[in-house]
């Protein structure tokens, strides 16, 4: 069985590679380290590519390919004819997108279309999993009534006790250019499922995280926060009193859900995939967790200006995922995730010295 993974050196891509290699699949990773272009040296993922090559050996095949290369993408899929495709490659920052609008849209929207059409031509029966984002909802979640608690914001509307579900509106709100490019990709993935009958799904991620995340200030909140804590670097808190809330899901649990979907795919489905209420935290609460496992005080600066299109409180409603795939659930707690991140960051710092 052949699995094609785009963005294979990134957090979710690499987790999926390892997960399916352990199941006996041959892994074809597509990555050209574009993250280093978007974010500079701190976003470099070559270390993760090397880790995969060493850990997976002959079951891992790296392809240095940009998903914007339409002919190259089609040629690769026609050659490999993968049994499943997991698309995680993206320009992932809503802040960065404003400075590189064409690169952002060409990567997120056009790159996704290139992959979808190549799949339709080369292997239309192969499940196609697309890592979308909760930013497709724009800033509309901020219209939900909120209540201010001591360390966080929370929903003050009982309709959202379990979080935001997949039928939440995605238009007539401010998205950032990144959010808009991901909307285009998200809807196209659905359309290839509904119009052409391809087994596709969009996973609208909350904060996807884990020990192999190359977090930077503009993307990868929890990973970057832990990195700042360990290095004694100042972490900038942007607005909302530092009480903005995110739900965090470990990359292992994302890969486990992808396994479930590939085994029993549906057509043009959408799932909000995140940590849910149980794995949620505010910035201040994340500081406390990082300090607990690092033993170091968090250095920070508060800026009374929120990021454009940023969510005040976002919790994923996981009920649809659990209903469609009852064998899946969250297995890694937020505390354990942060502990792993602190330990992995320390080990990487030691090995680089």
User: For residues 315 and 164, what is the distance between their CA atoms, to the nearest angstrom?
Assistant: 6
CA–CA separation, 44 and 56 (whole Å): 20
Q: List C-alpha distances in Å: 63 to 77, 83, 191.
A: 11, 17, 27
Which tens digits make up the pLDDT trace of 225-268? 999 999 999 999 999 999 999 999 999 999 999 999 999 999 99
**Residue 225 and residue 300: Cα distance in Å, rounded?**
10
pTM recorded for the entire structure: 0.94
Q: Which helix (H) or strand (E) holds 29?
A: strand 26-30
**Topology of domain 2-352, per CATH?**
Rossmann fold (3.40.50)
Q: What contacts 1, CB < 8 A, 6 or more positions away?
A: 24, 25, 26, 83, 84
pLDDT at residue 288 in the model: 97
pLDDT tens profile 272-329:
999 999 999 999 999 999 999 999 999 999 999 988 778 999 999 999 999 999 999 9
State which residues of the chain have pLDDT below 50. none
pLDDT at residue 218 in the model: 61
At 216 the pLDDT is 66
**Which phi and psi (to 5°) does residue 325 adopt?**
-135, 75
Q: Which residues contact 209 (CB under 8 A, 6 or more apart)?
A: 11, 215, 220, 221, 222, 223, 248, 249, 250, 251, 337, 341
Q: What residues contact residue 80 under an 8 Å CB cut-off, 6+ apart?
A: 2, 4, 28
């Amino acid at each position: 069985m052949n699995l094609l993974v785009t963005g294979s050196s990134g957090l979710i891509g690499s987790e999926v590679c390892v997960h399916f290699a352990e199941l006996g699949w041959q892994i074809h990773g597509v990555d050209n380290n574009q993250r280093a272009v978007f974010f500079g040296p701190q976003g470099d993922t070559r270390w993760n590519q090397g880790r995969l090559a060493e850990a997976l050996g002959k079951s891992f095949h790296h392809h240095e390919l940009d998903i914007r290369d339409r002919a190259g993408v089609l040629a690769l899929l026609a050659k490999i004819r993968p049994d499943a495709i997991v698309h995680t490659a993206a320009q992932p920052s809503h802040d960065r997108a404003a400075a590189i609008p064409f690169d952002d849209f060409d990567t997120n929207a056009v790159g996704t279309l290139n992959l979808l059409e190549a799949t339709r031509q080369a292997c239309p029966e192969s499940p196609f999993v697309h890592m979308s984002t909760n930013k497709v909802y724009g800033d509309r979640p901020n219209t939900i009534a909120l209540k201010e608690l001591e360390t966080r914001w929370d929903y003050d509307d009982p309709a959202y006790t379990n979080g935001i579900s997949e039928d939440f509106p995605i238009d007539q709100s401010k998205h950032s250019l990144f959010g808009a490019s991901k909307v285009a990709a998200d809807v196209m993935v659905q359309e290839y499922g509904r119009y052409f009958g391809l087994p596709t799904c969009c996973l609208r991620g909350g904060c996807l995280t884990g020990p192999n995340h190359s977090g930077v200030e503009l993307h990868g909140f929890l990973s970057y926060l832990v990195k700042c804590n360990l290095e004694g670097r100042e972490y900038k808190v942007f607005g909302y009193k530092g009480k903005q809330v995110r739900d965090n899901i470990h990359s292992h649990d994302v890969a486990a859900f992808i396994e479930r979907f590939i085994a029993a795919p549906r057509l043009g489905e959408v799932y909000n995939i995140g940590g849910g209420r149980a794995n949620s935290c505010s910035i201040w609460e994340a500081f406390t967790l990082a300090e607990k496992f690092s033993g170091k005080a968090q250095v920070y600066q508060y800026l009374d200006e929120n990021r454009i299109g940023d969510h005040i409180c976002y919790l994923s409603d996981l009920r649809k995922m659990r209903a469609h795939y009852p064998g899946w659930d969250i297995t890694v707690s937020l505390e354990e995730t942060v502990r792993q991140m602190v330990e992995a960051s320390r080990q990487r710092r030691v090995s680089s010295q």
